[in-house]
Amino acid sequence: MTVRLAQTPPEEPPALHDRAMDNLRYIRETMERASSFTAVPGWGQVAIGITALVATYVAAHQSTPRGWLGTWLAEAIISLLIAGWLMDRKARASGVPLLSGPGRKVAFSLSPPMIVGALLTVVLFRKGLTGAIPGMWLLLYGTGVVTGGMYSVSIVPVMGVCFMALGAAGIFAPAAWGNWLMAAGFGGLHIVFGSIIARKHGG
C-alpha cells in the first residue's frame, strides 16, 4: 500500500535519511546473501577438497612428472564435474537454464585464468619446470575465485585471496613442497572455507 508522508518539509529529518541509508544497506546485504545460493554450495566445495586430498596422496606416489601431472589433471576434471553437477542440480531446481545466471557468472570468471593456467602448464612442463606448476595453478585459481566471488558473499573473495597468497608463496618455494601446497590449497582451503560457507550461508 502507498501512504503519503504528511507534508514532509523541504529538508528531510535526519532520521529519515538515516533510515534510507540503512534500508539501501539492508537491500544490498540481502541481495549479497541471496546471491550465495547461486554459487557452488559450501558442502560441494568440501567434497572437492576431499577429492583433492586423495589426489595429493595418489600424485605423491607417482614416479614420473607425467604421472603426477596426469593425476592432477584427472582431479581437475573430477572437480569440474562435481561443481558442474551441483550447479546444474541447483539450476534445475530453480528452473533457470544453467548458462543463464549462476553458471555463466562462474564460467566467465573462472575460464580466463583456467585457460591461461592450461597454456602455462604445457609450457612449464615442456621446459621441465614442473616444480613451478603448483604455485601457478593456486595463483590463477585464486584469481578466478576473487573475480567470480565479487558477486557473491564476502568470504568467497577472501578464499580466493588465500589461494593467491599460497600460490605466490608456492612459485618461490622448493619443488619438493609442491604436493603439500596442493593439499593445503585445493584440499585444505576448500574444506575450511566450504565448511564456513555451508554453516554461515546454508548449503
Partner 1 sequence: MAKPQALRREPGKEQTEKQRLRGVHGGAPQSMHEIDRLIHERLRLGIISALAVNESLTFKELKHTVKTTDGNLSVHARKLEDAGYVNCSKTFEGRTPKTEYRLTAAGRRALERYLDHMEAVIGRMRKTN
CB of 144 to partner 1, least distance (A): 21
Alpha-carbon distances of 89 from 39, 49, 83, 94, rounded to whole Å: 12, 20, 10, 9
Our finding on whether 109 is near partner 1 (CB under 8 A) is no
Q: Which of 53, 82, 96, 165 binds partner 1 (CB under 8 A)?
A: 96
User: Does 1 interact with partner 1 (rule: CB under 8 A)?
Assistant: yes
Q: Chain-centre distance of CA 15, in angstroms?
A: 40
Stretch of 1-9, 39-47, 136-144, 188-196 lying at the interface with partner 1 (CB under 8 A): 1-9
Site map 13..42 versus partner 1, x via CB under 8 A: -x-xx--xx-xx-xx--xx-xxx-xx----
Q: According to the binding rule CB under 8 A, does residue 94 interact with partner 1? A: yes
Q: Does 2 bind partner 1 (CB under 8 A)?
A: yes
CA 142 to chain centre: 7
Closest CA to 59 of 69, 47, 49: 69
d(CA 132, CA 174): 9
CB of 18 to partner 1, least distance (A): 9
Q: Does 154 bind partner 1 (CB under 8 A)?
A: no
- The reply on whether position 66 binds partner 1 by CB under 8 A is no
Q: d(Cα 31, Cα 35) in Å, to the nearest integer?
A: 6
Contact between 88 and partner 1 by CB under 8 A: the answer reads no
- Whether 152 and 193 have beta carbons less than 8 Å apart is answered as no
Rounded to whole angstroms, how far apart are CA atoms 152 and 33?
Answer: 8
- Side chain identity at residue 65, one-letter code: P
Is 111 a binding residue for partner 1 by CB under 8 A? The answer is no
Give the binding-site size for partner 1 (rule: CB under 8 A).
32
Whether 79 contacts 48, CB under 8 Å:
yes
| Residues near partner 1 (CB under 8 A) | 1-5, 7-8, 10-12, 14, 16-17, 20-21, 23-24, 26-27, 30-31, 33-35, 37-38, 93-96, 101, 202
